């Protein structure tokens, strides 16, 4: 008996079975219902998100003799012949292997003939970004004046490689990565149909590993089932097949790291390498573990959000007590950088070890940073020394100069900072922004979990158009706080607090530089004004 891969066997044949692309399905069905079908569509999105599957269902729907509410009936002759791949109306072209001008010219000649049955000839061009320039130009001619019985569906994973002239003639649909939840549910459904006994936790792990691709998820599942044919597929089995590591190992690794036990940490790496674990996957999973730990540390009632067992939860809570948020953020930063580098690295083990040693010995990292800093400071002095000295009198705020106000409280008259050139102080800080700055701590306290944590380390400055700049110590923090919904949240909190709207922009301090090198510290300035009034 031949075996059909799950992905083929359960490839959706109706719109209802396509998971995670509801916005696209709805639009397409509406077009079919209203008989307002376009002549060129562009489907883009990562692999395994359903682009060609939806294209085929669409091809069936437009040709179906009795479409039901925008979906193909699946019963009529047209539906059947398209499903069997025998219809002349649906032409699939893989642009990866047919990327020349001649291939497209062939299509242009064919296009001139009306379909002998059904309403539309549908050309599905997969991986369309692989076409040569000449081929794109040939295609463009057809797209400019397509016969009314022709539909082009172009599919691609790399939309930025498509010429703008082609893009502007297509309706554009973005296929999203499919959520872990949706993938898990779909696999659960299929495993029930197949009568395969699987642990939920195992499916969730596979869904997570598939990174938004349903096709990848089903292939991984296939692999795991084949390995444990006839047995219950457990979480441990899945880890084994995929070369992944159990959370217990991460817990051990983390505890050794917190203890700064370099030898102990390297022993664990040795053990994992001997077991043949995939180190790229390991780094990604450990980052995920740290992320969970951060959530546990910074939020209350996180149990429902995190998908971990009760015993793992207890473990995480215990570890959350053992580590400071700052340190944890540093761990996550180092490991997310590592994950990116490992993908293309040949010396994976060395890189992993170096990253772990970095975690264990913060002094090493700080040393390097401070060294770089000192070099930079010297460079700046050489480059701008004269200029800064000449202008020093004007920047009374920063210098303990004659006639100006004294230095900031707490600055301690640091002689070095007086010489270094500072960014310009704005002439006036708008009243609204001042009010936000004075209330910023209490505004930050009201922010949601992660944002609140990051805002504790934020400094404030003034941007163009009198925006409030929230400056974070690194790009990771800035990418979280700077997310559109988080910025909106902060702006909302500000409006609640002071009753006025202040625009917020999130920035970060470049690595190896100090906040004061790039930004004016308006908090200091405002505090000082208050002191003066006293």
Sites of contact with Zn ion (CB under 5 A): 64, 72-73, 76, 79
**Shortest distance, CB of residue 117 to Zn ion, whole angstroms?**
12
Q: How far is the CB of 72 from Zn ion (least distance, A)?
A: 5
Kindly state the tokens that stand for 83: 């499903």
- List C-alpha distances in Å: 127 to 44, 99, 130, 423, 496: 9, 10, 6, 49, 49
Q: Output the DSSP codes for 461-503.
A: EE-GGGPEEEEESSHHHHHHHTSHHHHHHHHHHHHHHHSS---
Q: Smallest distance from the beta carbon of 64 to Zn ion, in angstroms?
A: 3
For the CB of residue 39, give the shortest distance to Zn ion in the complex, in Å: 21
CA distances from 79 to 12, 38, 63, 339, 462 (A): 14, 20, 7, 46, 62
**Closest approach of Zn ion to the CB of residue 79, in Å:** 3
Q: How far is the CB of 123 from Zn ion (least distance, A)?
A: 20
| Distance in Å, CB of 200 to Zn ion, minimum | 37
Instruction: Give the helix, strand, coil percentages of the chain, each rounded to 5.
Output: 60, 10, 35
CB atoms within 10 A of CB 239: 20
In angstroms, give the least distance from the CB of 87 to Zn ion: 11
81 or 292: CB nearest Zn ion: 81
**Residue 146, both tokens:** 């397509």
Q: Distance (Å, rounded) from C-alpha 496 to C-alpha 443?
A: 9
The number of C-alpha atoms within 13 Å of 294 and in the hemisphere containing its C-beta is 22
Distance CA 28, CA 25 (A): 5
Nearer to Zn ion, 59 or 444 (CB): 59
C-alpha closest to that of 533 among 422, 468, 438: 438
Nearer to Zn ion, 73 or 313 (CB): 73
Question: Based on CB atoms, which residue is closest to Zn ion, 115 or 404?
Answer: 115
Structure tokens at 137: 């130009």
Which C-beta is closer to Zn ion: that of 54 or that of 242?
A: 54
Give the 3-state secondary structure of 410-463: CCCCCHHHHHCCCCCCCCCCCHHHHHHHHCHHHHHHCCCHHHHHHHCCCEEEEC
Cβ within 8 Å of residue 66, ≥6 positions away = 73, 75, 76
| CB of 87 or CB of 298, closer to Zn ion | 87
The answer to whether 71 touches 61, Cβ cutoff 8 Å, is yes
* Of residues 73 and 101, the one with the C-beta less far from Zn ion: 73
Q: Closer to Zn ion by CB, 32 or 224: give it.
A: 32
SS3 at position 403: coil
Of 64 and 509, the one with the shorter C-beta distance to Zn ion is 64
User: Phi and psi for 306 in degrees, rounded to 5?
Assistant: -80, 135
> CB-wise, 76 or 480, nearer to Zn ion?
76
């Amino acid at each position: 008996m031949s075996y059909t891969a799950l992905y083929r066997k359960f490839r959706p044949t109706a719109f209802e079975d396509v998971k995670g692309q509801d916005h696209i399905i709805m639009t397409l069905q509406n077009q079919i219902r209203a008989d307002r079908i376009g002549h060129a569509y562009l489907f883009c999105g990562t692999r395994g998100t359903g682009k060609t599957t939806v294209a085929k269902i669409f091809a069936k729907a437009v040709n179906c003799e009795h479409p039901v509410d925008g979906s193909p009936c699946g019963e009529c002759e047209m539906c059947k012949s398209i499903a069997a791949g025998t219809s002349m109306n649906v032409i699939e072209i893989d642009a990866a292997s047919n990327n020349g001008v001649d291939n497209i010219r062939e299509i242009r000649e064919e296009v001139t003939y009306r379909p002998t049955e059904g309403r539309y000839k549908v050309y599905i061009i997969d991986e369309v970004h692989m076409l040569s320039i000449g081929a794109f130009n040939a295609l463009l001619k057809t797209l400019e004046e397509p016969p009314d019985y022709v539909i082009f569906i172009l599919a691609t994973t790399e939309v930025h490689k498509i010429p703008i002239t082609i893009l502007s003639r297509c309706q554009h649909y973005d296929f999203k990565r499919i959520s872990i939840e949706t993938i898990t549910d779909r696999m659960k459904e299929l495993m029930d149909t197949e009568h395969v006994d699987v642990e939920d936790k195992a499916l969730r792990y596979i869904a997570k590993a598939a990174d938004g691709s349903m096709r990848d998820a089903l292939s991984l599942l296939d692999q795991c089932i084949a390995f444990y044919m006839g047995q219950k597929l457990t979480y441990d089995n899945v880890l084994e097949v995929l070369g992944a590591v159990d959370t217990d190992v991460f817990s051990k690794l983390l505890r050794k790291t917190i203890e700064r036990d370099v030898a102990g940490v390297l022993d664990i790496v040795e053990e994992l390498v001997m077991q043949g674990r995939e180190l790229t996957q390991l780094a990604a999973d450990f980052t995920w573990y740290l992320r969970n730990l951060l959530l546990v540390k910074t939020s209350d009632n996180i149990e429902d959000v995190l998908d971990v067992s009760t015993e793992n939860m207890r473990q995480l809570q215990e570890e959350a007590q053992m580590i400071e948020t700052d340190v944890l953020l540093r761990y996550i930063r180092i490991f997310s950088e590592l994950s990116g580098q490992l993908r293309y690295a040949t010396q994976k083990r060395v890189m992993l070890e170096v990253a772990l040693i970095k975690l264990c010995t913060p002094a090493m990292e700080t040393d390097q940073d401070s060294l770089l800093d000192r070099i930079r400071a010297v460079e700046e002095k050489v480059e701008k020394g004269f200029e800064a000295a000449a202008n020093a009198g004007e920047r009374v705020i920063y210098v303990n100069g004659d006639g100006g106000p004294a230095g900031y409280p707490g600055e301690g008259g640091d002689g070095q900072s007086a010489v270094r050139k500072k960014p310009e102080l704005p002439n006036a800080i708008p009243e609204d922004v001042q009010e936000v700055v004075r209330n910023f701590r209490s505004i930050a306290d009201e922010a949601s979990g992660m944002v609140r944590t990051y805002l504790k380390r934020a400094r404030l400055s003034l941007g163009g158009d009198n925006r409030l700049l929230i400056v974070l110590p690194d790009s990771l923090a800035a990418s979280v706080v700077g997310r559109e919904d988080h910025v909106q949240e902060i702006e909302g909190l500000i409006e609640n607090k002071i009753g006025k709207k202040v625009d917020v922009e999130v920035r970060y301090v470049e690595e190896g530089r100090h906040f004061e090198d790039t930004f004016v510290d308006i908090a200091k300035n405002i505090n000082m004004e208050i002191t003066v009034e006293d």
